[in-house]
Structure 1
Amino acid sequence: PPGTPSYSVVHTKLSNSTGNSAVGTGTNDGEYWLYCEGDPDLLFTENETNTERLYGIPNNSPYVKDSINSYLLNGQHDAVNPAMKGTKVAVHYHLSLAAGATHTVQLRLSNQAPADMLPFDEAFTDIFSQRLHEADDFYRAVIPPDVSEDAANVQRQAFAGMLWSKQFYFYDVKIWLEGDPTQPPPPRERLHGRNHEWTHLYNADIISMPDKWEYPWYAAWDLAFHCVTFAFIDPDFAKEQLILMLREWYMHPNGQIPAYEWAFSDVNPPVHAWAAYHVYKIEQLLTGQGDRDFLEKIFQKLLLNFTWWVNRKDYEGQNVFQGGFLGLDNIGVFDRNQPLSDGSHIEQSDGTSWMGMYCLNMLTIALELAQQNRAYSDIASKFFEHFIYIAHAMNDLLVDGIELWDEEDGFYYDVLHYQDSRTIPLKVRSMVGLIPLFAITILESELINQLPSFKQRMQWFIDNWADIDKHMERMQEPGHSEHLLLSIVNREKLPRILKVMLDEAEFLSPYGLRALSRYHLEHPYTIELNGISHTVDYEPAESNSGLFGGNSNWRGPIWFPVNYLIIESLQTFYHFYGDALKVEFPTGSGNQLNLEEIAFALSQRLSSIFLRDEKGQRPVHGGVEKFQRDPYWRDLILFYEYFHGDIGAGIGASHQTGWTGLVANLIRMQSEEGQGQALMHEVTKMPG
């Protein structure tokens, strides 16, 4: 692909007149030098596989990839190249420190050659100090001035963590399947193994990682959330990332977006359009100018992806989508990514809801683009109508008795569909039943009136589609244009879902919303299939099952991305219903709040995971006294993958700033500069 970097790297050692060591690196971008204070040992080797150790095949050179390890740990001093050259080098300092003592090592990377360089003179100190001041100035411009010192510290580290999580990622699937010509051939089974359908995929880019320590590979839906935070500090990078996933050497020719390297064909929730519109609107809000060229590029490619979803994931053509595990790993009774052994399949509440949200995101973008190019009005009509089909499928009884809404419980469930056409709801109260809240938007009649062809087609559809009022609601305020609410969850169902969601004995935690109701702590859900019993119970911390490696858990902990989307949805509902709709918060408290107030309260609960409480403790640190009390550690924040459903302690990958970095957005939303909840509404409301 255009712009793919190629490197030819050779290291050599020189010493300059200052007595410091310098390591020279030649690349296609010119020469760079790493200056090392003092005279440490420089351990050179080649960045080549140790074939003798792995395969019993003699090495081409005695200096191989793991030679530095052999030198340091095994005392094999002949493992490194005495000629002081190679394609890999380590700087080895010998230090002897007394108890409690410290020692600082200074390194400097520069394109200035040793003859022209005094690497650690006063200029070094000045540059170091200047960079610190520049960083302070940058974050001073980004962080609202009215947030507390503690919250500003958390927000800055969240933004910094996003920047730190960038990584060069290189994966050529074709070479991986066929094998490196300089290495022994791989087993023939690899040609038909993992990712063999993705031979077009060639990745060689700087990409935002979920966690460079534990997950040093991109995940498409994680990355979409990353970009919504990146938009506040580097909107150009955010736009580049979203476009990158849709380029020909990433997106499959059939329109699927690659999931992650373990299995590119897995299915992630379709949040790319949502993220793209948010990045567009955030940049527009902060700079006064939205990048329409970016939005148009994204929209054109996402038409392919939307078509892939409709053609591949709608099992029986009824607008009920299966999708698979959809990023929620072990949330289901079964591994939703695998076919059931008896041929049954699951009609997924969340899969269908995600597609409803996708429709509305694409409708939003199409209407934004139609303001300057009326050709987009027709495709906007398509997404309006498709959303109504999906909303109907979610809420009305279909053939074979499929009904995702449970009238008795006031909740959405997955439905198990047996081969003999019998169906049974899988009554697990999980995030799966809350995701229908995500599919919501508001149409302003003022905008619709500017697009006559869209208005005409929409009116015809309204006149000819029975029961459309179940999925669309009108509101006219004195002195304002008419609003149209499109939502899977209508006015009748919304308070019933919120009653469960905002119950502290169910989803509502002191630190946000749990992914699985606490109800299942004492009431595990069990179903038997083919003589095998399957159970889901409440697990607020680590998973007790081995599904998806066992290092991820959606059966009770708090996850930021879905909490963020719920907050956003509540705000959108508020901007339609206003104070006309209030519910108890928490359920049973008698405390009536409107939905914007509830959204704000949820954002505060999520932020409080990282902030000092009344005892000076940060819930994120849990019971780790070193982090809670040590003055050198207590203000350093780790942005974990997910959080304990009851106490808010960080769990899972500990450096997953990734989507947990959304806390930076929430802190801004709570500030006066962010106009309270207004910013998120400005991002989510329809154009016009």
Structure 2
Amino acid sequence: MFDDNTTNAENLRILENEAKEVPLEKWGPYLSERQWGTVREDYSQNGDAWNYFPHDHARSRVYRWGEDGLAGISDYYQQLCFAVALWNGKDKILKERLYGLTNYQGNHGEDVKELYYYLDNVPTHYYMKYLYKYPQQAFPYYEINRKNGERSKEEQEYELLDTGIFDEDKYFDVVVEYAKKNSEDIHIRIEIINRGDEDAPITVLPTLWFYNRWQYEPSKPKPVIEHAEDGSVRATHVPLGTYHLYYDKPDYTLFAENETNKERLFGTPNDVPYVKDAFHEAVINGKDLEELQALNSGTKFSPVYKFLIKAKSSKTIKLRLSKGRVKNPLDDRFNTLFTTRKTEADNFYNKRFPDTLNPDLRNIQRQAFAGLLWSKQYYHYDTQRWLTTSDGISPVVENRLHGRNSTWKYLKNQDIISMPDKWEYPWYAAWDLAFHCVPMAMIDPTFAKNQLILIMREWYMNPEGQIPAYEWNFSDVNPPVQAWAALEVYRIEKEKKGEGDLRFLKRIFQKLIINFTWWTNRVDVEGKNIFAGGFLGLDNIGVFDRNSKLNGTLALEQVDGTSWMGMYALNMMDMALEIAMHDDAFEDSAVKFYEHFVLIADALNGMGLWSDEDKFFYDTIRLQKNHAYHLKVRSIVGLTSIFAVSIFSYHNLEKLRDFRKRATWLNQSREKNRQFLPIIDNNKTGKVLLSIVDQEKLTNLLNRVFDEDEFLAEGGVRALSKAYKDNPYSVDIEGSTYTIQYDPAESTSDMFGGNSNWRGPIWMPINYMLIRALRKYHEFYGDDFKLEFPKGSGNYINLKEAADELSQRLISIFTKDETGKRSVNGAEDKFYQKPENADLVLFYEYFHGDNSRGVGASHQTGWSSLVANLITDLGKSTATYVSENKFSEEMK
């Protein structure tokens, strides 16, 4: 898969970063696209983050914990920021950041309402490219808000394309490119393309500003941006140093201060005359325009360019942000650097991935990586300070001290983190991040490893061992997939380099032991090896909210909680065995986790969670007197049992005599006492399979998975059986009736805010884990174990072939069909068949269970970028097997 050609310029830069204590570039796309409406900026008494700091305040009010901007960059402490602001002559506000609906405004929860695309990026960010589509008509803020407010949960969201504002091509493509000469010398090129048939005006404000820390740290020197003698502006900051911004000749320049407009928002006098929204007022309303032009310094600066761009034509602006002065900063060498860095980016990706892929697949994979890399963000949140101090607007009140995240006072985050999404989820989520690291390992394994370790460092992890879930509630319980992700990252890097990073495995293994112990002590309080945990990331998959408290006579026993822990134990065993082959001090740990897995597998199979009637695993409600009944919902919850699988050979473990001895004794003891044993020997190959499900249960479960009337969809595997489309499942619990039905797309439930839905759509990470498990089962069972795929077709294939088929279905969500359409675009595909849009790809949070259109967050590239792994894995697999379907040719 890899050609580790260290002479490639990007490879050399990655190697240089690997030697750093923290493997980061000083400058990158670390600027969020939404800081407003986040928990960090919420100082309300009732924890209403959306309304405490709304979008309408963002242009006028200073943030405390970070900054945001459009197509922006910052240094890794976000001291100095750069982004692009736009005005089409008709909007009521400057377009300085992305707009979207809050959880209260959207008929399916929060949702960004913009068209933007991450076109390219490399791990060191020496080349980056971003596209924003800006209407030439007034941006329909009110219409979007009103229309979504009028729509029911059963209707689709009202999107920007639905307004018709792009119908006559009356929009600009704003292409922002960055090319670094070195880590502290960044060339910036902004091209504005008029896609319409008429000349159109636009005002462009490339903006440089300092993050306002001085309001909370008045003893430290205040930074300043000021005119310099060489025609640049000089940005001076302690300790960042001095940077110069060079720029093409503008119509005029503006200075202001990054300070809150208290007069506008709160009716109190401002501390300085020209505040954060001064550019907005000057450009749109002409307020203080001459005064701002006359200023020579401030903490916010912009050269202003007023263009009338001819139809089908473009204008380009050149800027350069450099530490120190530069002679002839924008000469002919400026554009040459972009050509060089783009060529280096091409070489970097071409050396890593099969040259047999067709251009469409290459484009999909490249944009998946671009979105993953663009979503690295600066994240600052000190809960102790947040809880006990004020933002200068609202006083500290007692109920905040005992409110959201009040038990996480030790959490002090200030890092660059891989985020799910730069607008909808501009904060880390523990299990999302684990999935992000798997595709990241294909291009930057050092950063991937660092991220997995970071989330378990002492300034993140609870002293008791819990990993923080996400900022809305750090105490929520996400599936423990970190050990699985660590092994995936280790495997990918080992395949690339020929040897694995055992030091990484040792470091993360030690942290995971603490987390595993927290799970066993806090989530399995009765010591039965049956785990609950609540929603476990699958927001509304249950008949009822699984985070809710049942009365004292009832207990919920969760298949997925128990299966995740079985997989966790097995992953820890695999990790310990890998390390023990080089360091026998870890052999005892391998034994411990082997025994723990056996106990969990025994509990899952023997405590009544399996239905002999339906041949499926179900969550169970258990009464105090031990009477239990199944919640008969066939969902991804019951399929998680498939994920826990491992293969090893005793012959390969000859060095680990104690492990062999203890495992053999345990196996013989359980056989003697007729206890469940999740182990199968293959006498032909000498391999041993460890799995929660035996071959019979696996067959029964996969028969459901491969049934198009249940789980199997055109685009992969659904989260809930389609059988509930016409026949919803209902159950009475404590006098209340709960119902669940198949919802293939947006959520029809308000559970967990209504912005996420596991009741039918296709989720990339779950599909990826299933595919990886199928390949593992095939490694053991071989070609003779075949199942009908799809059910009722008469076509029998082995599990490797089934994994390939599922991979192709998932990849097909993004690929063009024979008419040039992509399923992911749904009804919007007409827009995406225009020549300028044909190669644009969005990576949504999840996908429609029937037609594969993108649903949820439109840029959750973090885990949907796993399609890049699928493309590569399928490319390797089809080298020996080519399936007979319309997608097989795309791998050639």
Question: If the TM-score is normalised by the length of the shorter chain, which range does it land in?
Answer: over 0.9
Higher deviation after alignment, 634-643 or 443-452: 443-452
**Does 2:754 align with 1:543?**
no
Q: Which residue of 2 aligns with 1:106?
A: 318
Distance 1:345 1:66, change over 3 A: farther
CA contact (8 A) 2:420 2:862 kept: yes
> Where does structure 1 lack aligned partners over 5 or more consecutive residues?
679-688
Higher deviation after alignment, 624-633 or 437-446: 624-633
Percent identity over the alignment? 51
1:51-450 superposed matches below 5 A: 51-53=262-264, 58-77=269-288, 83-113=295-325, 116-180=326-390, 184-340=394-550, 344-396=554-606, 398=607, 403-419=608-624, 421-450=626-655
SS in 1 for 2:797: strand
Cα distance, 1:405 vs. partner? 0.6
**Does 2:874 align with 1:670?**
yes
CA contact (8 A) 2:227 2:296 kept: no
Q: Deviations 1:151-207 (Å, cap 9, x if unpaired)?
A: 111111111111111111111111110124755533321110111111111111111
Cα distance, 1:590 vs. partner? 1.0
SS in 1 for 2:827: coil
Q: Once superposed, what is the RMSD of the aligned Cα atoms?
A: 2.3
Higher deviation after alignment, 407-416 or 104-113: 104-113
- State how far apart, in whole Å, the 2-side matches of 1:446 and 1:171 are: 50
Structure with bigger helix share is 1
CA contact (8 A) 1:40 1:92 kept: yes
Q: Which residue of 2 aligns with 1:461?
A: 666
Q: Which residue of 1 aligns with 2:255?
A: 44
Which residue, 19, 26, 30 being the options, matches 2:241? 30
**Does 2:717 align with 1:510?**
no
Distance 1:43 1:331, change over 3 A: farther
Distance 1:85 1:70, change over 3 A: same
- State how far apart, in whole Å, the 1-side matches of 2:863 and 2:391 are: 38
CA contact (8 A) 1:377 1:453 kept: yes
Q: Which residue of 2 aligns with 1:566?
A: 770
CA contact (8 A) 1:668 1:674 kept: no
- State how far apart, in whole Å, the 1-side matches of 2:278 and 2:651 are: 69
CA contact (8 A) 2:250 2:304 kept: no
Q: Which residue of 2 aligns with 1:685?
A: none
CA contact (8 A) 1:143 1:156 kept: no
Cα distance, 1:459 vs. partner? 1.4
Q: Which residue of 2 aligns with 1:601?
A: 805
Cα distance, 1:261 vs. partner? 0.6
Q: Which residue of 2 aligns with 1:682?
A: none
- State how far apart, in whole Å, the 2-side matches of 1:378 and 1:578 are: 31
- State how far apart, in whole Å, the 2-side matches of 1:145 and 1:6 are: 38
Q: Which residue of 2 aligns with 1:646?
A: 850
Structure with bigger strand share is 2
Q: Which residue of 2 aligns with 1:683?
A: none
CA contact (8 A) 2:667 2:677 kept: no
TM-score (norm 2): 0.72
CA contact (8 A) 2:253 2:293 kept: no
SS in 2 for 1:250: coil
- State how far apart, in whole Å, the 2-side matches of 1:82 and 1:332 are: 62
- State how far apart, in whole Å, the 1-side matches of 2:513 and 2:265 are: 46
Which residue, 809, 828, 832 being the options, matches 1:624? 828
Cα distance, 1:554 vs. partner? 0.6
- State how far apart, in whole Å, the 2-side matches of 1:426 and 1:433 are: 11
Q: Deviations 1:275-306 (Å, cap 9, x if unpaired)?
A: 11111121111012211111100000110000
Distance 1:61 1:275, change over 3 A: same
Q: Deviations 1:420-440 (Å, cap 9, x if unpaired)?
A: 543221111110011000011
Q: Which amino acid aligns with 1:143?
A: F
CA contact (8 A) 1:556 1:645 kept: yes
Q: Which residue of 1 aligns with 2:105?
A: none
Cα distance, 1:472 vs. partner? 0.8
Q: Deviations 1:623-673 (Å, cap 9, x if unpaired)?
A: 113443111112111111111111111111111110000000000011149
> Where does structure 2 lack aligned partners over 5 or more consecutive residues?
1-20, 23-75, 81-209, 211-222, 883-892
- State how far apart, in whole Å, the 2-side matches of 1:82 and 1:670 are: 61
- State how far apart, in whole Å, the 2-side matches of 1:404 and 1:647 are: 32
- State how far apart, in whole Å, the 2-side matches of 1:71 and 1:261 are: 36
SS in 2 for 1:363: helix
CA contact (8 A) 1:326 1:351 kept: yes
Distance 1:91 1:338, change over 3 A: farther
